């Protein structure tokens, strides 16, 4: 027994020594992504590590966070000071919310690193994105994450099944001339032609509400169900809206009442699938109906070029008809960022890597699309065509950083990235860009309000509840839960922000 024990100890010691001998290699930096679908990254990491060994002086490892597990993994790694995670995805809507976590000191302030190593990065990313990332963090005003250059503007559109629309005897121009309040005849016709079990209006109720009333998401507002509305100026998004820079109780406005009343009419007429009004089934129903092209009009938060992909996938002709001009708000301009954890032992190497990833087309293509010859091939026109191997390596493209330096894919067509850049470069910023509601002082109210809103909002937005009776009930319940306190706190902060701006 003693001999065995001694033997184990001896082996353990030898292993430890061997470990130290290996550790003289390059330092390992680890990056954690969001929304990945990656099962085999061996070939990619081999190529990446061969490429960055000299340029960055480190070896890369990747944690491929998925949509479902990223929030837990990221918040645990950051709050526990886990030094094995160096770089982590952050944004205005994830659990490791950029503004909050920067304020709490989980992210390294990058200004000095940018000054020293970031010349290429600064050249590759528009000034406006750098500004959007400049916030008041734990170490004062500065940049706490590298902001990804992607579809940085929000634009809500009608998702139109043109194939069916034309079958019904309408043209796309006819549709463009209609407003939300005159869809009735169109839906009635669709119902007549396609039968009673067909639901023409396939909506994302909460998105539709913003589209119709012309309001936007306020960064820092209650997540699952937004409570606050900021009304846009529909003519010119960079000008003040009808109510000025004031946040409103989303459900108490005249616009909202008018919207839900109309929705209830559509719902009662059988134009909307009842399962869209239930949180658990809403998304599945929508995805399924979209996949099979079983709808007439839907809603879509737009990204340039999506109509080609949607048409191809659904086997119908899809067009997206804009509801508003694209606008840049805080949510969109902090939509995908990459921060360095303060627990990291290699912040310099990590930053060098992020700078390279966002400015070097070869590295970005490798990380995002995989290895040429394995995950994709280039066709005669030099466009990317994915192979079957891509299924094992599909990171979330927009979550990685500067996607404008990626090559065009065959599905997107030549010149897509240039058009993409130009499209979003033209987008105007809303007056209160950069404002994030810091809800720390009203977390109790927010939780209570969120519960109340979860009970009514979706069903009202989808038209399933009669606003005549449900809306007053809802508003009273919100008042009881402290809506006014919540609203006052948000407006005081916005006023202070606008004054400082």
Partner 1 sequence: MRKSKGQSATLNTFGPGAQAAFHAVLGLFALLCIVPFVFVIIISFTSEDSIRQIGYSFTPLSWSTQAYTYVFQLGGALWRSYFNSFLITFVGTSLSVIICILYSYPLYRRDFRYRGFFNFLSFFTMIFGGGLVPTFVVCKTLLGLSDNYAALIVPMLFSPFNVIVMRTFFQTTVPRELIEASTIDGAGEYRTLIQVVLPVVKPGIATIALLNALAFWNEWFLSLLYLTKNMDVMPLQYLLMRMQRNADFLAKNAGMLGADAAKAARNLPSQSLKMALVVFIVVPIACAYPFFQRYVVAGLTIGSVKG
Q: Which of 42, 287, 379, 443 binds partner 1 (CB under 8 A)?
A: 287
Question: 357: Cβ–Cβ under 8 A, 6 or more apart, which residues?
Answer: 363, 364, 367, 400, 401, 402
d(CA 138, CA 132): 17
Which of these ranges, 6-14, 188-196, 291-299, 361-369, lies near partner 1 under the rule CB under 8 A?
291-299
Q: What is the dihedral of CA 357, 362, 365, 367, to 10 degrees?
A: -50
Number of H helices, E strands in the chain: 21, 20
Question: Is 217 in a helix, a strand, or coil?
Answer: coil
Closest by CA position to 439, among listed 229, 276, 194, 219: 219
Under a CB-based contact definition with an 8 Å cutoff, are residues 463 and 263 in contact?
yes
Residue among 241 and 399 whose Cβ is closer to partner 1: 399
Site string for partner 1, 18-47 (x = CB under 8 A): ------------x-x--x-x-x--------
DSSP states of 308-341: HHHHHHHTS-EEEEESS--EE-HHHHTSSEEEEB
Question: 263: Cβ–Cβ under 8 A, 6 or more apart, which residues?
Answer: 205, 208, 272, 460, 461, 462, 463
Site string for partner 1, 187-226 (x = CB under 8 A): -----------------x-xx---------x-----xx--
Residue among 187 and 396 whose Cβ is closer to partner 1: 396
d(CA 146, CA 55): 18
- Smallest separation, CB 304 to partner 1 (Å): 9
Residue among 204 and 445 whose Cβ is closer to partner 1: 204
Site string for partner 1, 318-357 (x = CB under 8 A): -------------x--------------------------
Q: Which of 99, 341, 344, 394 binds partner 1 (CB under 8 A)?
A: 394
Residue among 204 and 360 whose Cβ is closer to partner 1: 204
**Residue 375 found at the interface with partner 1 (CB under 8 A):** no
Q: Which of 398, 455, 485, 491 binds partner 1 (CB under 8 A)?
A: 398
**Residue 289 found at the interface with partner 1 (CB under 8 A):** yes
The site for partner 1, by CB under 8 A, has a size of 54
Looking at residue 271, the DSSP 8-state letter turns out to be -
Q: Which of 86, 96, 97, 151 binds partner 1 (CB under 8 A)?
A: 151
Residue among 170 and 251 whose Cβ is closer to partner 1: 251
Site string for partner 1, 292-311 (x = CB under 8 A): x-x-----xxxx--x--xx-
Question: Is 215 in a helix, a strand, or coil?
Answer: strand
Under a CB-based contact definition with an 8 Å cutoff, are residues 471 and 252 in contact?
no
**Residue 262 found at the interface with partner 1 (CB under 8 A):** no
d(CA 475, CA 249): 9
- Smallest separation, CB 317 to partner 1 (Å): 17
- Smallest separation, CB 380 to partner 1 (Å): 26
Site string for partner 1, 266-285 (x = CB under 8 A): ---------x---x--xxx-
- Smallest separation, CB 40 to partner 1 (Å): 10
Residue 351 gets the label, from left (phi > 0), alpha (psi -120 to 50) or beta, of: alpha
d(CA 329, CA 434): 7
Q: Which of residues 43-82 bind partner 1 (CB under 8 A)?
A: 61-63, 66-69, 71-73, 76, 79-82
- Smallest separation, CB 484 to partner 1 (Å): 25
Q: Which of residues 403-442 bind partner 1 (CB under 8 A)?
A: none
CA quadruple 116, 120, 123, 128: dihedral sign: negative
Q: Cα separations (Å) of 93 from 66, 242, 333, 408?
A: 15, 27, 11, 28
Provide the binding-site residues for partner 1, judged by CB under 8 A: 30, 32, 35, 37, 39, 61-63, 66-69, 71-73, 76, 79-82, 84, 93, 151, 154, 204, 206-207, 217, 223-224, 275, 279, 282-284, 287-292, 294, 300-303, 306, 309-310, 313, 331, 394, 396, 398
């Amino acid at each position: 027994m003693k001999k065995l024990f001694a033997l184990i100890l001896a082996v353990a010691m030898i292993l430890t020594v061997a470990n130290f001998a290996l550790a003289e290699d390059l330092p390992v930096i680890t990056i954690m992504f969001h929304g990945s679908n990656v099962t085999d990254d061996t070939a990619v990491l081999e190529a990446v590590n061969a490429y960055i060994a000299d340029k960055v002086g480190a070896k890369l490892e990747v944690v491929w966070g998925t949509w479902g597990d990223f929030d837990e993994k990221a918040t645990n790694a950051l709050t526990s000071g886990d030094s094995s995670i160096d770089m982590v995805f952050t944004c205005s809507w994830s659990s490791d919310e950029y503004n909050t976590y920067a304020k709490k000191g989980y992210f390294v302030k990058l200004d000095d690193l940018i000054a020293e190593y970031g010349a290429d990065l600064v050249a590759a990313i528009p000034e406006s994105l750098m500004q959007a990332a400049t916030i008041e963090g734990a170490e004062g005003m500065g940049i706490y994450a590298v902001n990804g250059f992607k579809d940085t503007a929000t634009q809500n559109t009608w998702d139109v099944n043109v194939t069916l629309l034309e079958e019904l005897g309408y043209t796309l121009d006819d549709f463009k001339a209609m407003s939300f309040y005159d869809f009735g005849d169109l839906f009635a016709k669709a119902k007549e032609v396609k039968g009673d079990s067909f639901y023409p209006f396939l909506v994302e109720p909460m998105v539709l509400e913003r589209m119709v009333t012309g309001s936007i998401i306020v960064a820092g507002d209650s997540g699952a169900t937004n409570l606050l509305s900021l009304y846009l100026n529909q003519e010119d998004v960079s000008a003040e809206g009808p109510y000025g820079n004031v946040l409103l109780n989303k459900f108490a406005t005249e616009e909202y009442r008018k919207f839900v009343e109309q929705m209830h009419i559509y719902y009662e007429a059988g134009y909307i699938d009842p399962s869209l009004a239930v949180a658990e089934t809403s998304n599945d129903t929508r995805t399924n109906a979209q996949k099979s092209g079983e709808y007439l009009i839907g809603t879509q938060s737009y990204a340039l070029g999506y109509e080609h992909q949607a048409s191809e996938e659904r086997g119908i002709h899809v067009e997206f008809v804009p509801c508003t001009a694209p606008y840049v708000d805080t949510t969109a301009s902090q939509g995908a960022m990459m921060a360095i954890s303060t627990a990291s032992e290699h912040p310099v190497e990590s930053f060098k890597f992020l700078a390279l990833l966002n400015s070097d087309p070869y590295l970005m293509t490798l990380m995002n699309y995989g290895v040429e010859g394995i995950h994709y091939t280039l066709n005669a026109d030099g466009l990317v065509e994915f192979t079957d191997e891509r299924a094992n390596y599909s990171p979330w493209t927009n979550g990685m950083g500067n996607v404008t330096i990626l090559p065009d894919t065959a599905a997107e067509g030549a010149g897509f990235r240039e058009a993409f850049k130009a499209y979003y470069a033209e987008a105007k910023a809303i007056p209160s860009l950069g404002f994030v509601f810091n809800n720390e002082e009203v977390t109790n109210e927010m939780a209570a309000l969120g519960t109340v809103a979860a009970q009514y909002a979706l069903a009202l937005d989808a038209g399933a509840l009669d606003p005549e009776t449900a809306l007053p009930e809802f508003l009273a319940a919100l008042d009881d839960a402290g809506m006014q306190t919540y609203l006052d706190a948000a407006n005081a902060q916005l006023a202070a922000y606008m004054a400082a701006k």
